[in-house]
């Protein structure tokens, strides 16, 4: 009986060690899921819900979690040219020291999670993100957040340039319109060769070792289209991800 118990303990330890090894090369990067209310975001409640599901699964799997916060200096001293200002000459959004820069409460970081503040769209620009990822041994990023056509796009392009593979969860990202969101997805699907696109449901299936759908780059400009083909091309991408077809705004 004792021998059987010892064997079970060894098997459990081996399984736990294997699970740990499987997750040491990944990190979950949550981009700018903050309380900023300066502009409406398409389907944001659904995106928050999907991020919450992914965070729960990532924590259960032992995947390191890194949040970014976009923060502008309160006095506007470090803004890029043309950044919108309020009537007092301060940054119109993401102003340091305000509630708007904090992570949404439902997705709030927990002990052990990392938070990186950034002054520009890309999470790699003038931050220690790359150094922290390399110190963790990370080679693949799971990416969610906002805005798909700004900070998410800039971060994914930089991640690719720096040699990372990227799992982008399409319905855990959004922008001000669904069309802008989908246009950015097509750009990344066309040109980021180390990218794999998932829906939340399909990524959770993959994480559980179940059958799943995803979209990987198969050739340059794989979703090339003419303007009048935009809606049909988005439908192709949604079908590849196992997402229901939606009318474009």
Other residues' Cβ atoms within 10 Å of the Cβ of residue 249: 11
Task: Count Cα atoms within 13 angstroms, Cβ side, for 158.
Answer: 17
The yes-or-no answer on residue 32 being catalytic is yes
Indicate which residue of 5, 25, 32, 221 is catalytic: 32
CB contact at 8 A, 109 and 115: yes
CB contact at 8 A, 239 and 245: yes
- Starting at the edge strand found earlier in the chain, the sheet holding 26-31 runs 114-118, 65-70, 26-31, 140-146, 165-174, 195-198, 215-216
CB contact at 8 A, 22 and 116: no
Spatial CB neighbours of 48, under 8 Å, sequence gap ≥ 6: 33, 104, 106, 107
Q: Coil, strand or helix: which one is 66? A: strand
d(CA 70, CA 217): 29
**Residues labelled as active-site residues:** 32
């Amino acid at each position: 009986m004792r021998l059987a118990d010892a064997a079970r303990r060894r098997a459990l330890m081996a399984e736990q060690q294997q699970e740990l090894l499987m997750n040491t090369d990944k990190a979950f990067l949550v981009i700018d899921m903050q309380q900023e209310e300066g502009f409406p975001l398409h389907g944001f409640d659904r995106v928050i819900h999907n991020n919450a599901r992914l965070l729960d699964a990532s924590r259960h799997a032992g995947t390191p979690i890194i949040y970014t916060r976009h923060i502008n200096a309160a006095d506007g001293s470090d803004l890029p040219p043309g950044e919108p200002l309020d009537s007092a000459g301060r940054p119109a959004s993401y102003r340091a020291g305000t509630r708007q820069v904090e992570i949404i409460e439902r997705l709030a970081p927990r002990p052990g999670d990392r938070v990186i503040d950034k002054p520009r769209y890309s999470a790699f620009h003038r931050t220690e993100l790359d150094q922290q990822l390399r110190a963790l041994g990370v080679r693949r990023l799971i990416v969610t957040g906002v805005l798909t056509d700004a900070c998410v796009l800039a971060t994914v392009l930089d991640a690719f340039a720096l040699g990372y593979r990227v799992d982008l969860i399409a319905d855990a990202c959004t922008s001000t319109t669904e069309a802008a969101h989908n246009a950015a997805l097509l750009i990344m699907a066309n040109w980021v060769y180390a990218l794999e696109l998932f829906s939340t449901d399909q990524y959770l299936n993959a994480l559980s070792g179940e059958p799943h759908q995803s979209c990987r780059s198969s050739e340059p400009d794989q979703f090339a289209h003419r303007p009048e083909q935009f809606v049909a091309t988005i439908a192709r991408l949604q079908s590849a991800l196992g997402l229901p077809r939606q009318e474009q705004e």
